[in-house]
Amino acid sequence: MHFSICSSLCISFLQNMRSMRLFLLFAFNYLLLLEAYRFTEETDKQSLLEFKSKVSEDKKAILSSWNNSFPLCSWNRVKCGSRHKRIIGLDVRGLQLGGVISPFIGLNSFSGAFPPPIYNMSSLELLNIAYNGFSGSLRPDFGDLLPNLEELTIGSNYFTGAIPTTLANISNLQKLAMELNGLTGSIPPSFGKLGNLQVLSLGSNSLGSRSFGDLEFLGALTNCTQLNVLTVSRNRLGGDLPASISNFSMNLTILDLYKNFISGSIPHDIGNLIGLQQLSLGNNLLTGALPTSLGKLSGLVEFSVSSNKMSGEIPFSIGNITQLGKLYLYNNSFEGTIPASLGNCSYLLELIIEHNKLYGTIPQEIMQISPLLLLSMSSNSLTGSLPKDFGRLEHLVNLSVAHNKLSGKLPETLGKCLSMEGLYLQGNSFDGSIPDISGLVGVKEVDFSYNNLSGSIPRYLANFNSLEYVNLSYNNFEGKVPTEGKFKNATIVSVFGNSNLCGGVLELKLKPCFSQEPAKGTNHSSSKKKVVVGVCVGMSLLLLLFIASVSLCWFKNRKKNKTNEAAPSAVGAFHEMISYGDLRIATDGFSSNNLIGSGSFGTVFKALLPADNKIVAVKVLNMQRHGAMKSFMAECEALKDIRHRNLVKLLTACSSIDFQGNEFRALIYEFMPNGSLDMWLHPEEVEEVRTPPRTLTLFERLNISIDVASVLDYLHVHCHEAIAHCDLKPSNVLLDDDLTAHVSDFGLSRILLKFDQEYFLNQLSSTGVRGTIGYAAPEYGMGGQISIHGDVYSFGILLLEMFSGKRPTNELFGGNFTLHSYIKSALPERVLDVMDELILHNGLRIGFPVAECLKMVLEVGLKCCVESPMNRLAMSEAVKELISIRERFFKSRRRDRH
């Protein structure tokens, strides 16, 4: 139910029920803004009847008018609004009601400052106002005014300022939960006086100063002998981890210090905390080795020290943690071998030890952990082969051993891991053929690239209905590539770097397959000779035809006294070409009615290809513009061999002569019906006929940013050669039917491994400046070398623009005052001041922590567009952070529904 009621309503309940020692629970869950309009007078009525049903039997007579015989607004103690006839007030003071307060008078979305009347309720024992929109700071004398509180829960609001030190005066306080706010300052060490404290939850704030002294409170909390849960994750706490944490109560089950700036090493006596079930120390600055005393924590279920600077060997004693369910040691510098004792952790579900310096073989004992769901050992220096009995891991969903030094044949039992969804073996030296994995029908992603695998590509892969990505590049596969099923879609299949493959769909650009089997009764040697002769004759004819064609072109060009450049070799990569005449017909004579955009080197038209009744986008190059041919060549070269779902697909090209004898170049792309991101972000600048039907929601913007980040990560790291886009901006991000983003316009792109000094100097001349003003990296303007870091800068600016609604070239900015400094100066407290106000009016639920979500996204943008190229966030990290933010958004949606 949704109630439009003020805080005084709930205060009325408090004043009425305080004498009966009934705890008040403000179950204020946030709702979608639009959903508020779905509630009616009937839902109000049903909610009050639910409330009445929970009142004790001897008091129900007082609410006798609450029934279907009377109009809702005539019910006793009920007040309705004058216009909409919905309930706006409910007063039950003095009725001495008993029973349980129904949750149906909660699922509200209060906002504004903390209600002052609550400070007058000195007898209050429980206060829970989580998941609302309250803001402002708490009074410094909070604890003195409410001395009898046993539980204070104000998480998921917008409170700012310091934590009142007077909270330490509430001697009976058992639970203090203030997570997901904007609190700043220090955590009061005086909390150590709270002898009854069981839960202290302060995560996801801005507490601390990233310096020594921030962790003083930890030593003080060792006096809280009842402490069960301590979480201060996602703050700004700095300084060395004190050894005193080993003296915490043995009642402590959760210690969560994740994502701060904590340095030092893990205390040797951490094993004293024998009651721990979760120890989260990931994303900090910890150094040193893992203490062997960890083995004493036999009840530990989750242990994380990921993304730190730790080193040394993984202690053998870790195998004594027999209840361990999740072990995260990734992104450190651990070395040595993987301890075989891990096989004792028979309840282990997730083992992630990627991105370390581990060597040696994969222990056979790990194959004994049958519940294992996720196993990632990638980016180490592991040697040997995969254990033969891998099939014992029948519940394994994801396996990654990529980028190691593994070799040998893949085990036949791999096909018995029937739950497999992700199989990542790339970057090793595996040889032989792919074993029978036809049983892995639920697999979504398969990457066998950069190995020495051979044999044919299994045809059953084409029938895997869930398959979204298969990479077989740079191996020794041979024979015909399937053309049915999933292999029809070249955007999810990668097979380049296998010289003996043939066939496949046209988009894979492989050589055709020829049968070389002799007919029955035919001499094999003679058949072979015939084939050789035929091939030689054919090649000779092709050579003559080629020479004649080149001579003819040269003659025509000379006759016209022109110095046109030859058509780029990259165009030859397309199996199907299209003529100028066909494009002229498809665009209705390049009519302005079909014009959908224009850029530096050309104009884009919407076209209908009559052959297959397909709508496409045609980019016609302006050949009179200096650099247009280089742009055409760059785009063909960049897109001919790359495939990604968030790239605009280049279908074919046209290299021809128009009807006046002029040189004509065009590129044909798949058509994106929802236009560019630019027109969605700035609809006021778009012609009325093309204005988007609505604005983008916060969630849609987040999805689009992840799409763009993913494709940049692919171009920078996962292509056969690194590619810099060099002109990322909203107008080059196109949206399909479901608003999935596709990056376009590779006219300025660079394949970085094909870099040479002469070309570099040409491109940095006054006529070849890289990118667009406002989005181009600052080093490009000073003649700096083109790199993937320039794309990261452009992405950062794009991200800031997407969520602020302001272009980097806005008239507001000038001199040292830029979009970057404008956003940075507003974080974290004034983040809503810089948010695109259209976001607030499009699909946001009341009470959703918009400020927290937006702050995290903009921080990613700021880290991407710092001035120093080497200090910018890698695109892979940007993808991870944005996905993490999206997952958090999903969680809040699920929590809202339940």
> Rounded CA gap, 446 and 495, in Å?
12
> Rounded CA gap, 326 and 333, in Å?
19
Active site residue 588: no
Judging by DSSP bridges, how do beta strands 422-424 and 133-136 pair with one another? unpaired
Torsion of CA 497, 502, 505, 506, to 10 degrees: 80
Determine contact, residues 863/873, Cβ cutoff 8 Å.
Answer: yes
With a CB cutoff of 8 Å and minimum separation 6, the contacts of 147 are 122, 169, 170, 171
The Cβ of residue 260 has, within 10 Å, a number of other Cβ atoms equal to: 26
Strands of the sheet with 158-161, listed across from one edge: 111-113, 133-136, 158-161, 182-183
Q: Which of 725, 849, 733, 635 is nearest to 155 (CA)?
A: 849
Q: Which of 378, 439, 382, 446 is nearest to 408 (CA)?
A: 382
From the candidates 727, 745, 791, 836, give the one annotated as an active-site residue: 727
Determine contact, residues 198/229, Cβ cutoff 8 Å.
Answer: yes
The number of C-alpha atoms within 13 Å of 106 and in the hemisphere containing its C-beta is 18
> Rounded CA gap, 840 and 833, in Å?
12
> Rounded CA gap, 497 and 477, in Å?
9
Amino acid at 347: Y
Determine contact, residues 410/434, Cβ cutoff 8 Å.
Answer: yes
> Under DSSP, is residue 735 helix (H, G, I), strand (E, B) or coil?
strand
| Strands, E assignment, 118-206 | 126-128, 133-136, 151-153, 158-161, 175-177, 182-183, 199-201
Amino acid at 99: G
Q: Quick one: three-class SS letters along 221-274?
A: HHHCCCCCEEECCCCCCEEECCHHHHHCCCCCCEEECCCCEEECCCCHHHHHCC
**Longest alpha-carbon distance in the chain:** 110
Tokens of 381: 């220096």
Catalytically active residues are: 727
